[in-house]
A and B are shown apart, each in its own frame.
Chain A
Amino acid sequence: MRDLTNRALDTAAQLGATYADVRVVRRQEESIAIKSGKVEGVASGESEGFGLRVLVDGAWGFASSSWLTSAEADRVAGVAVRIARASATALRNRVRLDDRPPAHGTYETPIEEDPFNVALETKIGLLLAADTAAGKPKGVTFTETRYDARREWKAFAATDGSYTEQTLTHVGAGVEANAIEGDEHQRRSYPDADGGPFKAAGFEFVRGLNLPDHAESLGEEAVALLSAPQCPPGRFTLILDPSQLYMQVHESCGHPSELDRVFGTEASYAGTSFLTTDKLDDGFRYGSDLIDIVADATAPGGMGTFGWDDEGVAAASVPIVREGIFVGYLTSRETAPRIGRQSGGAMRADGWNRIPLIRMTNLNLLPKPGMSLDEIVADTDEGFYLASNRSWSIDDRRLNFQFATEVAYEIKNGKKGRLFKNPTYTGITYEFWRSCDAVGDERSYVMLGTPNCGKGEPGQGASVGHACSGARFRDVQMGVGKW
C-alpha cells in the first residue's frame, strides 16, 4: 500500500503541493434486518479507494478514486492540484496548519470475538429470538430487529513522513416493538432504536446485550402506551435516562463545540454555534457545577476511539466543559492555531471519498460520585423520567432544542409510576444545562452513541460515542405541540 501512497504524495508534490496527505481505506460491512419475525434482508458490503488532500498556494484541493493503481494515483493527484488552484482563485486567508510530530504506528480496536467470523445462522438465530419475543404481546403491530457490523482498515500517509495503519471494528444491535391503533403509533426499543447502540467491540458486545431477555417487555410497554395518558404540558423536574441524555449531549454539547462551525465553515448547511471564541476567553458558564464534559478519543469501547485522527494527530482526551465552565473545543490542525492551541485530534472522514472534518470523538458527560440514577429518582418528589430518544431538533446555533422520547414515567414521592405517551421537552441549551442539579455516578455510566451523525457537503456520516450516566434537570418546559 505504501507504493500507492508514495506515488500519490510524490506526484502531488511534483505538481506543486506544499503539503499533501492520502488515506487508503477499505471498509467491510454486514447488516441483518428482521421484521415481524421474518428475515427481511441480509447484506454484505465492501468499498475501497483512496483520497488525496493537497495544499497548493495556500488553498485546499481533494480528489478520490476507487481504482487503486499508480496511473489513477497520478490522475487523482493532477485533479486534486487543479482543484486546489481553482480554490486559490477565491481565497482570502491562506491555510496554515499547526505543527505536530509525524505520526507512526498501528492501532486496532480490541475485540474478543470477530463479528465477521460468527456464523450467519448464529446471528440470525439470536436476532429472530429477540424479534419474536418483542412481537409476542397482543396488540403489537410490527417489530424490527437489526444488527450491523463494520470494519474499516485505513492507511494514512503525509508529505511530512507520517504513516499509520488502523483497523477499527464497530458492532451494534437493537430490537423494537411498534403498536398502532387509529392515529396512535407507539414504539419501544432496546437498547436503542434504529438498531443501536453501537460500540467499538466484537460480537461479544451483541451477546452481552441479551436482546431476547429484554424484548417481550418492550412489546408490552408499546401496547400499554396506546392507552396511556398524553404527557401534560407544563414546567417539570425531568430525569433523563442515558438512552435520551446521550442525544442531549450530542446535539447541545457536541455540535456547538466543533470549532469549524464556530468559524462558519458549516454555516450553509448545519449552521454555526453560539459558543463563539469570546466565550472561551471569558469562561462562559455552560452548565451547573456538576457538568464535566470531555472529548475522549481514548475511551474504551467508544465509536470515536482510534489511534490517530485523519490528520495524523494522536488520540487524546480534551476537556470541553469543566465544572460547568466552557474550556475547550473539538479542533483540527487548521482551526486550533486560530485560538492559540494545538489540534486536539478531532478530524475524521467518512471513508476514502470524503475529506476529514471536525467531528465528535467520544463526547462524554462524566459521572459524579454521590447518587446512582436510582437514588436520584428516589430523591425526587415529583417529575418525569424520560427514556429512549424518538425525535430531535435544534436551531442553527444550537440553542433552542426540542426532543421527544418513546416513554415518560411519572415520578411521585421518589418512585417511578405510570406511563405517559408522546413526551416532549424543549429549552435553551445553556439554561437547560445550568438547571442540572444531579448527575448519576459510575453505576449507571454507559457508553452509547450514534453511527450516523451527519455533517458536511457532500454529506458525511460519523460514528461518535457518548458515555453518560443519567441526570436530573429542574423547571423544564414539557408538552409542546397539539395532539
Chain B
Amino acid sequence: MSDGRDPSRDQGGDGDRLDPADVLAMAERALAHAEAAGATEAEALVTADDARLTRFANSEIHQNVAESNAQLNLRFVVGRRVGVASSNRLDDEGLRRLAETAGAIARNSEELEDWGGLPEPTPIEELPAAFAQETETATPELRADGVRAVIAAADAAGVISYGSFSTAAEAIAVANSKGIRAAQRRTTSQLLTVAMAPDGGSGYAEAAAVDVGSIDAAAIGREAAAKARSTANPVSVDPGDWPVVLEEYAVVDLLSMLGSMGFSALAVQEERSFAEPGRQVGSELVTIVDDGQDPATLPMAFDYEGVAKQRVPLIERGICREVVYDAQTAARAGRTSTGHGLPAPNPYGPFPLNMAMSPGTTPRDELIAGLERGLLVTRFHYTNPVHPKLAIVTGMTRDGTFLVEGGRIVGPVRNLRFTQSYLAALAATSAVSRERRTLRGDLGGVVVPAIRVDSWTFTGSTEH
C-alpha cells in the first residue's frame, strides 16, 4: 500500500477540486501510451467525478454517500480494427497496461468495413454556465440543511417526506490522435421529494440546477406536501380515453422516451425510428430541440468524443427535422457529428442529452381551464416502450392524479395505467404552458413546460 493520492484532484476539505487541465494531461499521457503501442488512431476519454447524495425517508436521513472516482476510456485503432479498454488505475503503469489491453483487443478484432475514423477537432467554446463553485464545494451539512427544510415543510403539513438531495462535480477531458484536446468541468444538483399523507395521499416535487444555491428546498418541500394533502382519499375513475393536463414531471418522460426511441441517427439507420425529416408528428405547438449550450439544460460544451455540441432542432412546430449524430453514424451518413457521442463502445448510438421543449403562451395555471372533463397528472412511474416504432409506451400515474370538471379540480383519483403512443400525444397537444422547469431526465437535463393533451388512453387502474 502506497501513501500517494489521486493526481486528478486537489484535496481540500470534503469537496475535492477537480482540475480539467490535470484530467486533460492524464488523457494525453494515455494517448502517448497508445501511440507508443502502435495505434494508428487513438482516443482517451477521462471522467473524474466527486458525487454526493443525501437520501431521506420517513422524514429522516437514512442514506448519505460520497464517491470519488476517475475513469479512463481508451479507444485504440489499428487500421480499421478498434479495441476499447477502460480502467480507473491511472498511474503510469496502469495507463501502459491499458494501452496494451486495448491494443490486443484491436488486433484480435474484425475490421470494421464502415469505420469512419475518429472525429476531427471542432472549435469548442468555454461554457462557464456549466459550472458553479457552490455545487462543487457543497458539504454534507449543506445537503442536510436542505433536507431539514423539506422535512420541516412536511411536518408543518402533517405529512411524511422522502427524497434525495445530490450534488456532483465532474471534470471531463478528451484527447485524440486527430488533434482533439477538450476539457471542461461541470456541476449538477438535484433535490426531489415525495410527500405521503396518513390518509393515502402523495405528492411530488423536484428541482435540478447547475448551481445548488438556486434550489429552494423549502419551496420544493411545500409543493410536495401540499399535493400530498390534496390527494387524500382518492376515488376510482374508469380507464379509457381522457383529455389530460400533464405537469412538467410527466412531460419529461415524453422527451426522454422519444429521445431514446427515435431522435438517434442509429435508430434511423437501423429503421427502428419514427423520425423522418418533414413528417408531421406533433401539433404546431410542439417544438423540441437538443441544445448542450443552453444554460438551462445542465449544459455540456462537448460530447464524449470531444466534439462541440451543436443545437439540433428535433421537432419544429410539430414537424420532424433532424436527429443527433456521433462520429460513426455521421460517417455512415456522409456528414459530421452533431456532438452527441457517448463513451465507446456504444451499441446504443448517439443520444440527445440536453433536450428542451419550447414554451407556449398559456399560463400554467390556466391549462386545466380548457378541460371540460379530464385528468390532471403529476408524473409517471415505471414507463417502458411496448411498440417503439409507434412510440407506444405503458406506465402508471403516480403522486397526484386529479379529476377535473368544468375547468376546476374536483378531487384526487386512484392511479391509472396508460398504454399510449407518445407521438399521438404530441399530435393531440392543444396547449403548452409559458412557464418551464429544468428537471433531470434519464441521462441529462431536460427543460419542459406543462401541456394539455386532448386524448390519452388509460388501460387499467390500481388500488391506490
- A→B interface (CB under 8 Å): 3-4, 7, 31, 33, 35, 38-49, 59-72, 75-76, 79-80, 82-87, 89-93, 119-121, 124, 128, 141-142, 144, 146, 178, 180, 183-185, 263-271, 274, 353-355, 390-397, 399-400, 402, 404, 422, 424, 426, 428, 457-458, 477, 480-483
Shortest distance from the beta carbon of B35 to any chain A beta carbon, whole Å = 19
Residues on B with C-beta less than 8 A from A424 are 386, 394, 419
Residues on B with C-beta less than 8 A from A84 are 64
Contact with A along B45-87 (1 / 0, CB 8 A): 0000001011111111111111111110000000000111111
Complex Cα distance, B105 from A121, in Å, reads 10
What are 21 A-to-B residue pairs whose CB atoms are below 8 Å? A38-B112, A43-B84, A43-B86, A64-B67, A66-B69, A70-B2, A75-B11, A82-B140, A86-B61, A86-B144, A90-B144, A120-B105, A144-B347, A180-B389, A265-B58, A354-B65, A402-B394, A402-B417, A457-B166, A480-B419, A483-B387
B109 touches A83 (CB 8 A): no
Complex Cα distance, B11 from A121, in Å, reads 44
Residue of B nearest to A124 (CB): B110
Binds A, one of B123-131, B296-304, B377-385, B445-453: B377-385
**Smallest CB-CB A-B distances: 3 pairs:** A41-B345, A481-B419, A86-B140
B345 touches A142 (CB 8 A): no
A40 touches B345 (CB 8 A): yes
Residues on A with C-beta less than 8 A from B181 are none
Cβ-defined partner of A457 (8 Å) among B59, B82, B164: B164
A481 touches B457 (CB 8 A): yes
A42 touches B69 (CB 8 A): no
- Judged by a CB distance under 8 angstroms, whether B361 is at the interface is no
Residue of A nearest to B113 (CB): A38
Cβ-defined partner of B464 (8 Å) among A33, A67, A397: A397
Question: A69 with B346: in contact, given A38-B113, A42-B109, A44-B102 (CB under 8 Å)?
Answer: no
Shortest distance from the beta carbon of A148 to any chain B beta carbon, whole Å = 12
Residues on B with C-beta less than 8 A from A355 are 63, 65
Complex Cα distance, B102 from A80, in Å, reads 35
Complex Cα distance, B64 from A86, in Å, reads 9
B68 touches A65 (CB 8 A): yes
Apart from A38-B112, A87-B144, A481-B392, what are 14 other A-B pairs with CB-CB below 8 Å?
A: A35-B347, A41-B82, A48-B88, A72-B5, A83-B66, A86-B140, A92-B58, A93-B60, A395-B464, A396-B382, A397-B464, A400-B415, A428-B462, A480-B419
A400 touches B417 (CB 8 A): yes
B345 touches A49 (CB 8 A): no
A66 touches B68 (CB 8 A): yes
Shortest distance from the beta carbon of A392 to any chain B beta carbon, whole Å = 6
B151 touches A90 (CB 8 A): yes
Question: A48 with B102: in contact, given A63-B65, A86-B141, A483-B387 (CB under 8 Å)?
Answer: no
Shortest distance from the beta carbon of A250 to any chain B beta carbon, whole Å = 13
Question: A395 with B193: in contact, given A41-B345, A83-B64 (CB under 8 Å)?
Answer: no
Cβ-defined partner of B461 (8 Å) among A63, A268, A400: A400
Shortest distance from the beta carbon of B376 to any chain A beta carbon, whole Å = 18
A86 touches B54 (CB 8 A): yes
Complex Cα distance, B387 from A390, in Å, reads 9
Cβ-defined partner of B270 (8 Å) among A141, A270, A428, A477: A141
Shortest distance from the beta carbon of A52 to any chain B beta carbon, whole Å = 10
Residue of B nearest to A180 (CB): B271
Residues on A with C-beta less than 8 A from B160 are 264
Cβ-defined partner of A185 (8 Å) among B58, B112, B272, B395: B272
